[in-house]
Amino acid sequence: MTDVSTLPVLVIRPKKGFVSLNLREIWNYRELLFFLVWRDIKVRYKQTALGAAWAVIQPVMTMIVFSIFFGRLAKIPSDGVPYPIFAYTALLPWQLFAFALTESSNSLVGSQNLITKVYFPRLVIPLASVLAGIVDFVIAFGVLLVLMFWYGITPGPAIVWLPLFMLLALATALSVGLWFSALNVKYRDVRYTIPFITQLWMFATPVAYPSSLVPKPWRAWLGLNPMAGVVEGFRWALLGKTAAPGLLLWISIVAVLLLLIGGLFYFRRMESTFADLA
């Protein structure tokens, strides 16, 4: 037997005032995070007959619809790139974001059985739902490579920045997901607003149109919507036809950081009530 008097001591007491984020604890639970991500992915691909095909069908169908209505009929400009690939480069991070946001917002409510029976930092749950979306993204990215080859587009050196933009999309999804998932436990009508919000958000993001449609003095402020920064970043890194999104990107990064830190604190604050409400 080990000498218990040397073991670490844990004090459980009501949280008061300022809560600490205690991110080290998340790190200690990284294996659980891994297994939850693994479970989500595994179950999703086991349960759906089409499996991986879903990850491709969704963005490709949307791209086709956009190309017909916005590209051909409405003649929306596409910064000198063929419209289908212009839309697809934006749809790729958008789907990643929309999926991660929806899944993480509903994640806590969907994990009631875990929350009321076992302790672990609750943050692991929305985090796992966000990360599980990466597999779909990677599959859909394969389609992009095919498209780029088809249209004869070779990305420039800016492609090394792509992971950063992907991270930004995930961070945006997580920060909003943190707010929504915690609110969702308390107010059960939040889940009905999520599809509506994602839809509006998409039209507020330059997915179907280029940000160059927005008058120059206002353009950088589009970055207040972090997904604008992500989408512009993707187009710049992959297609290389537009200028690097300088100020717009910085505004996006700052917006995400604020949203994320706020979300983390709010989530931590609400954390202790989850088991009682769920």
Partner 1 sequence: MSHVVIHVEGVGKRYKLGANRQYRTLRDSFTNALTSPFRKRDPEDPARIFWALHNVSFDVHDGDVIGIIGRNGAGKSTLLKVLSRITEPTEGQVRLQGRIASLLEVGTGFHPELTGRENIFLNGAILGMRRAEIASKFDEIVAFAEVTRFIDTPVKHYSTGMYMRLAFAVAAHLEPEILVIDEVLAVGDAAFQKKCLGKMREVSRTGRTVLFVSHNMTAMRSLCNRVVWLRNGEVEETGESGAVIANYLKSASATVTRQFWPTQEEAPGNSQVRLNMISVTSALEPGAEVDVATPVNIEVRYWNNVAGMVLNVSIEAYSIEEICLFSSFNPPEQMPAGLIRTTCEIPADLLNDSVYQFRVLIVRDAATILLKHEGVSLEVHDTERTVAYYGKWTGAVRPALRWSCDAQNSVNTKNDSIVDRR
Q: Measured from the CB atom, is 19 or 60 closer to partner 1?
A: 19
Q: Output the smallest distance, CB 185 to partner 1, in A.
A: 9
Q: Measured from the CB atom, is 72 or 269 closer to partner 1?
A: 269
What residues contact 26, with CB distance under 8 A and at least 6 apart?
33, 121, 123, 124, 127
Distances (CA, A) of 8 to 3, 20, 99: 11, 19, 40
Q: Measured from the CB atom, is 7 or 73 closer to partner 1?
A: 7
**For residues 88 and 91, what is the distance between their CA atoms, to the nearest angstrom?**
5
**For residues 102 and 110, what is the distance between their CA atoms, to the nearest angstrom?**
12
Q: Is 253 left (phi over 0), alpha (psi -120 to 50) or beta?
A: alpha
Q: Output the smallest distance, CB 222 to partner 1, in A.
A: 28
Q: Output the smallest distance, CB 43 to partner 1, in A.
A: 5
Q: Output the smallest distance, CB 262 to partner 1, in A.
A: 18
Q: Output the smallest distance, CB 103 to partner 1, in A.
A: 16
**For residues 235 and 155, what is the distance between their CA atoms, to the nearest angstrom?**
10
Q: Measured from the CB atom, is 10 or 146 closer to partner 1?
A: 10
Q: Measured from the CB atom, is 21 or 61 closer to partner 1?
A: 21
Distances (CA, A) of 156 to 63, 69, 162, 196: 23, 30, 11, 37
What residues contact 14, with CB distance under 8 A and at least 6 apart?
272
Q: Measured from the CB atom, is 111 or 175 closer to partner 1?
A: 111
What residues contact 222, with CB distance under 8 A and at least 6 apart?
206, 211, 214, 228, 248
Q: Measured from the CB atom, is 22 or 156 closer to partner 1?
A: 22
Q: Output the smallest distance, CB 178 to partner 1, in A.
A: 16
Q: How many Cβ atoms sit within 10 Å of the Cβ of residue 110?
A: 16
Q: Output the smallest distance, CB 126 to partner 1, in A.
A: 16
Instruction: Note the Cα 65 to chain centre separation in Å.
Output: 23
Sites of contact with partner 1 (CB under 8 A): 1-2, 4-5, 7-15, 31-32, 34-36, 38-39, 42-43, 46-47, 113-120, 183, 186-190, 193, 272-273, 275-277
**For residues 161 and 118, what is the distance between their CA atoms, to the nearest angstrom?**
39
Q: Measured from the CB atom, is 199 or 272 closer to partner 1?
A: 272
Q: Output the smallest distance, CB 210 to partner 1, in A.
A: 35
